[in-house]
Amino acid sequence: MKINKTALISVFIIYLTLLPVLGLSAEVEIKVVPVADHIYMLVGQGGNIGLFVGEDGTFLGDKKQLQEYREMLAVAYERLNSLKAQGKTAQEAVAAKPLADLEATWGKGVFNGDRWIELIYSGA
């Protein structure tokens, strides 16, 4: 599995950020282990961190959080793909609120569900 440029930049930033927080020096080795579908593990002294790298950003978390994130993306894709197959426009998809039940957990980031639909609907 090939590691993309976004992943390398993300790992470098995380590496530099975490070293002082964990009380480690730059001599500690952190390895990037590809797991599956843009999911990597940062393996090193003191524990492991999961890293999900997509075209539009990076999600950092433990195994459970990464599994839940991947499941949410699959659910969102299925719902939006279904609306698109029905011929719905992006505005109609937003009005249908297909991601409303995901908002409590996932809608607190940079984009809420409606904005996310507007941004990605053309590629669903």
pLDDT given at position 50: 72
* Residues 73 and 50 placed together within one structural domain of the fold: no
Q: Between 27 and 116, whose confidence is greater?
A: 116
3-state secondary structure 58-123: EEEECHHHHHHHHHHHHHHHHHHHHHHHCCCCHHHHHHHCCCHHHHHHHCCCCCCHHHHHHHHHHH
Q: How far apart (Å, rounded) are the C-alpha atoms in residues 76 and 87? A: 17
Which residues are CB-neighbours of 117 under 8 A, at least 6 positions away?
Answer: 80, 90, 93, 94, 98, 99
Domain of 29? 5-61
pLDDT given at position 106: 83
Taking all residues of the chain, what is their mean pLDDT, rounded to a whole number?
76
* Residues 89 and 55 placed together within one structural domain of the fold: no
* Residues 90 and 50 placed together within one structural domain of the fold: no
The total number of structural domains that make up the chain: 2
**pTM, two decimal places:** 0.57
Least confident range from 25-29, 38-42, 92-96, 116-120: namely 25-29
Tell me the pLDDT tens digit for each residue of 31-89. 777 777 777 777 776 667 776 677 666 666 766 777 787 888 889 989 999 999 999 99
Least confident range from 83-87, 98-102, 118-122: namely 118-122
* Residues 41 and 74 placed together within one structural domain of the fold: no
